[in-house]
């Protein structure tokens, strides 16, 4: 079980991607239009221009320029721009690495229900990065993301219940959240989650396992339309 206890929480350092599909053949013309719209204050254009500079799509990669446009969109309450700005501060791309600033922007996006931002904010509270370490606050944000089907948040919520960090230790809840994470994961992540779930299963009675099965079925039904 030391594998579960010792597993570090990790933020997702993958920026949200472009929201407007731009055909490669007309990319240059689209960039000119996009820049004009962004300069005029169009929040979606500002966000997309930031993505293009961050990834070097149709323009030379320029993190400082990406930050500039993300910030403009973020200040207009665009959740994806707020999240991406948090990622840039987290990585130290285009700006000095600053976990406090990263947490600030993750929080703004998280409050708008962006699951990746909720998850990352939870990780920062769990690790004490940019914010005081607070397991209860970490659980709060993991739960919000997990309820939206965020796989890593579901797993980390299970880890929190296993270790009794921010919540009472509860192996039934651990197995429940691990099971949801397993059902939504693939590849190496699925193997890791499955191994953890199998370890926890050894601590449960047949009655516990039946209870988890009922809980999982009810959760899936209640979240079917979400």
Residue 191's pLDDT is what? 95
Say what angle helices 43-55 and 79-91 make with each other, to 10 degrees. Answer: 30
pLDDT in tens, 101-127: 999 999 999 999 999 999 999 999 999
- Answer yes or no: are the C-beta atoms of 171 and 200 closer than 8 Å: yes
CA–CA distance, 80 with 17 (Å, rounded to integer): 9
Task: Give the residue extent of every domain in the chain.
Answer: 1-17+24-133, 135-226
Neighbours of 130 (CB within 10 A): 20
Grade residue 31 by pLDDT with cuts at 50, 70 and 90: confident
Give burial (CB, 10 Å; 0-12/13-18/19+) of 64.
exposed
Calculate the average pLDDT of the chain. 90
On the question of pLDDT at 27 being above 50, the answer is: yes
CA–CA distance, 130 with 153 (Å, rounded to integer): 19
Residue 5's pLDDT is what? 59
- The stretch 164-171 carries a mean pLDDT of 97
Closest by Cα among 215, 135, 134 to 171: 215
Give burial (CB, 10 Å; 0-12/13-18/19+) of 184.
middle
Q: C-alpha angle 8/145/50, rounded to 5°?
A: 90
**Residues in Cβ contact with 27 at an 8 Å cutoff, skipping those fewer than 6 apart:** 57, 58
On the question of pLDDT at 188 being above 60, the answer is: yes
Q: Does domain 1-17+24-133 have CATH number 1.10.10.10?
A: no
On the question of pLDDT at 21 being above 60, the answer is: no
pLDDT in tens, 66-84: 999 999 999 999 999 999 9
């Amino acid at each position: 079980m030391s594998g579960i206890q010792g597993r570090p929480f990790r933020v997702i350092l993958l920026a949200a991607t472009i929201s407007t599909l731009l055909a490669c053949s007309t990319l240059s013309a689209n960039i000119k239009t996009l820049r004009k719209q962004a300069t005029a204050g169009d929040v979606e254009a500002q966000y997309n221009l930031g993505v293009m500079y961050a990834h070097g799509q149709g323009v030379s990669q320029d993190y400082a320029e990406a930050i500039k446009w993300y910030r403009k969109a973020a200040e207009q309450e665009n959740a994806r721009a707020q999240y991406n700005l948090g990622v840039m501060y987290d990585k130290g791309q285009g700006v000095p690495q600053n976990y406090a600033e990263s947490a600030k922007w993750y929080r703004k996006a998280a409050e708008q229900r962006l699951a990746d931002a909720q998850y990352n904010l939870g990780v920062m509270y769990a690790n004490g990065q940019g914010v005081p370490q607070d397991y209860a606050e970490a659980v709060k944000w993991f739960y919000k993301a997990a309820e939206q089907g965020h796989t890593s948040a579901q797993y980390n919520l299970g880890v929190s219940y296993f270790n009794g960090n921010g919540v009472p230790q509860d192996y039934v809840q651990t197995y429940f959240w691990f099971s949801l994470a397993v059902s939504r994961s693939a590849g190496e992540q699925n193997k890791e989650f499955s191994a953890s779930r199998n370890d926890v299963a050894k601590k449960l009675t047949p009655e516990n396992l039946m209870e988890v099965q009922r809980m999982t079925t009810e959760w899936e039904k209640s979240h079917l339309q979400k």
